[in-house]
A = this chain, B = another copy of it.
Amino acid sequence: MANVIELGKRAKAASRILSTASTQLKNDALLAMADALIDNCGKILDANKKDIENGESAGLTAALLDRLRLTEDRISGMADGIRETAALADPVGEVIDGGIRPNGISIRKIRVPMGVIGIIFEARPNVTSDAAALCLKSGNCCILRGGKEAINSNIAIMELLRAAVASVGLPADCVQLIEDTSRESSTALMRLRDLDVLIPRGGAGLIRAVVENATVPVIETGVGNCHVFIDATADTKMAADIVFNAKTSRPSVCNAMETLLVHKDAAERVLPEIYKKLKEKNVELRGDEETIRILGSDVIPVTDEDYATEFLDYILACRVVDSIEDAIDHISKYSTGHSECIITSDFVNARKFTSSVDSAAVYVNASTRFTDGGVFGLGAEIGISTQKLHARGPMGLRELTSMKFIIEGDGQIR
């Protein structure tokens, strides 16, 4: 893929300018980007109309068409998102650590941009402006590769963003889009040596392809097989409210719960309450034998495969366990390391759960739906890391930076 390699070279060259650009200049670029989207709303909507028509011909589901569709309001939301990013603190240059060593050399460790960031994403065209804004604010050039369904919208948006970046005197190549949406272009990006990091944003299939093919550093994001464990001492109403919220407030997102584990001493008490609430939203319950014994035979028998599945839908797996240890074992076996919750009134068990469960976000008595950069106070988020290297959980601007040591002396030798 000669074209992707060419984009890489251009990004690397632009990166040498962007990485030392002042916060003021980067903010000017961001505000120009936001204005460009608003001023050229019609152009974007025309391009989006083509994507919608192509999507309808191709028989995309209503849900997918909705994710693809832009409106004046949504474009206005994209511009607002960019302006909010401009208002965030610039992480570049922050001194993280430092001091003077015994021989008199002074050392400081500071945040610097990564350099060039690749992002592979799927149908939503608003990711184009979100990702470009977060990368630019953190001093990084980005190479974006969106899904083919949104290609006309993405091209229109990127053309406007590039012109806006150039209008303030930064290289247009600070933000680039791969217009070729073949599988080959995606693989070429995964192997582009000029990338300092690749962030795939998408489902389990995309993540697997990246892990298998990438030769550049990767941050895995967003696959969430999340669990809620109701301990023996859980408050019934709190348990029912949290499960209902975690499962049904937005089932299609990665921080939604997928499996409910219930301590055997709480099962008879809490399961009927929970089931009643879930039925309001027509949630399909798939339970183990004990769940079926308690709730009745309209509960579908659960399989091991269900336990391993991120449904992203109104479906919930349910299992009654003998102890908190069994709950932790179950989570250890099936979790993707995203978000897990214990509902309990027991201090010892709360402490055991939070220390033993090895996930990015571990909750006591609060909904898993809170795992989010905005909620956690990061301002904005490029994704939720489910790996342990570099960043874990919601990633904001700081997580898009690396660091470097600056050492000053007056002739010291070793």
Contact = CB atoms under 8 A, between A and B. Distances in A.
A367 interface: yes
Interface string A87-115: 00000000000010100010101001011
Given A367-B414, A414-B369, A115 B196 contact: no
A20 interface: yes
Contacts of A377: 99, 101, 107
B412 A362 contact: no
Interface stretch (A174-182, A287-295, A399-407): A399-407
Nearest to A250: B414
B235 A411 contact: yes
Instruction: State the number of copies, please.
Output: 2
Contacts of A101: 375-377
Interface of A: 16, 19-20, 99, 101, 105, 107, 109, 112, 114-115, 196-197, 211-212, 215, 217-219, 235, 238, 241-242, 244-246, 249, 332, 350, 354-356, 358-367, 369-371, 375-377, 387-390, 392-393, 402-414
Q: What are the 3 tightest A-B residue pairs by CB atom distance, in nearest-first order?
A: A366-B409, A388-B402, A245-B413
A164 B114 CA distance: 42
Nearest to A13: B332
A413 B367 contact: yes
A105 B362 contact: no
Contacts of A407: 361-364, 366, 370
Contacts of A197: 388-389
Most chain B beta-carbon neighbours within 10 Å: one of A197, A211, A405:
A405
A358 B389 contact: no
A36 to B, nearest CB: 29
B408 A364 contact: yes
B411 A360 contact: no
Nearest to A412: B366
10 contacts: A16-B332, A101-B377, A115-B358, A211-B215, A212-B215, A238-B410, A245-B414, A361-B407, A364-B406, A390-B390
A190 to B, nearest CB: 12
A402 to B, nearest CB: 4
A371 B109 CA distance: 13
A376 B405 contact: yes
A108 to B, nearest CB: 10
A404 B212 contact: no
A109 B109 CA distance: 21
Contact of A365 (B249, B366, B410): B410
B392 A402 contact: yes
A116 to B, nearest CB: 10
Given A388-B402, A403-B392, A365 B409 contact: yes
Contacts of A99: 377
